[in-house]
């Protein structure tokens, strides 16, 4: 079975997931990954190649179409990346058996265009939270029946149960995006609310020392409680010093698999998260962690955990068991084999992705911001917006000078 994966790149969670699943796939699955841009980080590219798959950087959309014609299945690694939308709209694909694996939830912006879900033979989410998308109601019954959920976040294998800490105050950790685009700014308010003189919080992740996060930390009543530790290539080692994983995210964050949360739980850290869809799909409130409805409640939960070793031990054990049972590469491999084998019996067909997302870069961007029929309203972005993760500035940086995008700024 020849599977072609079309993806902008293999960085971050996408590459990490495929590197893990590649090691679990049976030998008869012949994988090729075609990248739509040069890889900036080859860490997961190398792991995937070492696992026996081919990785090709496309020299144009004609090559992508040629590779698709030789594959039994074409799987699009989907998120709101400008190059992927360009490929979907402009590549002259032959008849294919198409699968989409969505690495955005679609619950909030960026949205998943309903037309893509209609066109795909199978559309696969990475989180059950996506099943609550309002746009699913716009789909035909046939399209709804073709939807599946396959996890892309995995815990650390073979971790030993941790001995509960009783001779010192437990430590708190955060690991992930240290930017208010995802991290909740109330993080520091919650830490300030805790009582005691020996509260220790490690924040792992790249930080702009002159940016809003660092500024907010400096404004704390107890800034000495928080230590910014920077990026780490060894998250298991970084988290080994902590007992509680405090992971409050913005309500409209773009995450799905939440690798950091799953990895922390697999190590036995007790998670405290906010009541967002992606986190609720992972943490079982009161059993494998705690889901707070506000920053104030999260502070109360942290205070309770700091003083309750028996509670921490029970929830830690449950958390490790849940991840070991449900979040493994083997499980996702089996789920994909079911999806792939299920469509092998179907005839390839031509897909009109352009009709689903539009003709121009502006159409592609707007397709991630509002549903079909809704009127686009510019929120008045400043031209200095950072070109990251599917923002208008990202589209502008890829399609420099595009007239359709310039109109969106007006």
From CA 108, how far away is CA 252, in angstroms rounded? 6
Tokens at 89, concatenated: 């709209």
Q: Identify any residues that bridge with 255 across adjacent strands, giving them in sequence order.
A: none
Per-residue pLDDT at 384? 47
Report the DSSP pairing between strands 147-149 and 226-230: unpaired
Express each pLDDT in 74-90 by its tens digit: 999 999 999 999 999 99
Work out the mean pLDDT of the chain and round it to a whole number.
94
Q: Identify any residues that bridge with 21 across adjacent strands, giving them in sequence order.
A: none
CA-CA-CA-CA torsion for 96, 123, 139, 121, nearest 10 degrees? 20
Q: Among 242, 251, 150, which residue's Cα sits nearest to residue 204? A: 242
Per-residue pLDDT at 81? 97
Superfamily of the domain at 172-326: Glycogen Phosphorylase B; (3.40.50.2000)
Per-residue pLDDT at 163? 64
Other C-beta atoms closer than 10 Å to the C-beta of 37 total 16
pLDDT tier at 376 (50, 70, 90 boundaries)? confident
* DSSP code for 360: S
What Å distances lie between residue 2 and 101, 121, 284, 344, CA to CA?
17, 16, 38, 10
Tokens at 162, concatenated: 């941790």
Query: Do 2-154+329-366 and 172-326 come out as alike in CATH topology?
Result: yes
Architecture of domain 2-154+329-366 in this structure: 3-Layer(aba) Sandwich (3.40)
336's CB contacts (< 8 A; 6+ apart) are: 21, 25, 150
Work out the average pLDDT over 351-368: 97
> Residue 167 pLDDT more than 80?
no
Burial class (CB in 10 A: 0-12, 13-18, 19+), 248: buried
Per-residue pLDDT at 31? 99
From CA 15, how far away is CA 46, in angstroms rounded? 10
Q: What percentage of the chain exceeds 90 in pLDDT?
A: 86
Other C-beta atoms closer than 10 Å to the C-beta of 27 total 6
Express each pLDDT in 228-275 by its tens digit: 999 998 999 999 999 999 999 999 887 788 999 999 999 999 999 999
CA-CA-CA-CA torsion for 364, 367, 373, 377, nearest 10 degrees? -90
The answer to whether the CB of 89 falls within 8 A of the CB of 358 is yes
End-to-end Cα, the chain, rounded Å? 49
Cis peptide before 73 (omega within 30 of 0): no
Residue-range domain boundaries for the chain: 2-154+329-366, 172-326
The answer to whether the CB of 306 falls within 8 A of the CB of 169 is yes
Q: What is the pTM for the complete model shown? A: 0.93
Task: Compute the C-alpha angle 86/277/334, nearest 5°.
Answer: 70
Per-residue pLDDT at 96? 99
The enclosing H or E element of 57 equals strand 54-57
Express each pLDDT in 171-202 by its tens digit: 999 999 999 989 999 999 999 999 998 999 99
From CA 153, how far away is CA 247, in angstroms rounded? 16
């Amino acid at each position: 079975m020849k599977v072609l994966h079309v993806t902008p790149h293999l960085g971050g969670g996408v590459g990490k997931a495929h590197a893990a699943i590649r090691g679990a796939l049976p030998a008869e699955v012949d994988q090729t990954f075609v990248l739509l841009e040069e890889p900036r980080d080859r860490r997961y590219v190398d792991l995937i190649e070492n696992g026996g798959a081919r990785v090709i950087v496309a020299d144009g959309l004609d090559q992508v179409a040629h590779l698709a014609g030789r594959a039994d299945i074409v799987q699009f690694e989907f998120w709101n990346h400008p190059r992927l939308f360009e490929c979907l709209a402009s590549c002259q694909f032959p008849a294919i058996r198409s699968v989409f694996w969505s690495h955005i939830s679609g619950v909030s912006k960026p949205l998943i265009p309903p037309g893509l879900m209609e066109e795909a033979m199978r559309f696969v989410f990475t989180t059950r939270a996506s099943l609550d998308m309002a746009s699913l109601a716009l789909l035909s019954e046939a399209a709804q029946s073709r939807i599946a959920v396959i996890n892309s976040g995995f815990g650390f294998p073979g971790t030993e149960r941790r001995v509960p800490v009783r001779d010192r105050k437990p430590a708190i950790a955060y690991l992930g995006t240290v930017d208010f685009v995802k991290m909740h700014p109330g993080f520091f308010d919650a830490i300030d609310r805790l009582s005691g003189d020996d509260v220790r919080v490690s924040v792992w992740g790249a930080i702009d020392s002159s940016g809003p996060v660092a500024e907010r930390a400096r404004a704390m009543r107890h800034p000495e409680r928080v230590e910014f530790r920077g990026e780490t290539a060894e998250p298991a080692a970084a988290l080994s010093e902590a007992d509680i994983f405090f992971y409050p995210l913005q309500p409209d964050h773009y995450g799905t698999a939440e690798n950091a949360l799953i990895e922390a739980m697999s190590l036995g850290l007790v998670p405290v998260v906010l009541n967002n869809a992606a986190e609720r799909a992972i943490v079982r409130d009161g059993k494998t962690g705690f889901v707070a409805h506000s920053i104030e409640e999260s502070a109360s939960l942290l205070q309770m955990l700091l003083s309750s070793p028996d509670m921490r031990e029970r929830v830690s054990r449950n958390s490790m068991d849940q991840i070991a049972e449900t979040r493994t590469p083997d499980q996702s491999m089996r789920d994909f084999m079911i999806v792939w084998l299920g469509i092998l019996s179907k005839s390839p067909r031509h897909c009109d992705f352009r009709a689903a997302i539009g003709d121009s870069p502006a159409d592609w961007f707007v397709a991630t911001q509002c549903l079909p029929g809704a009127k686009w309203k510019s929120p008045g972005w400043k031209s200095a917006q950072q070109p990251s993760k599917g923002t208008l500035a990202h589209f502008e940086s890829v399609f420099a000078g595009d007239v359709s995008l310039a109109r969106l700024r007006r």
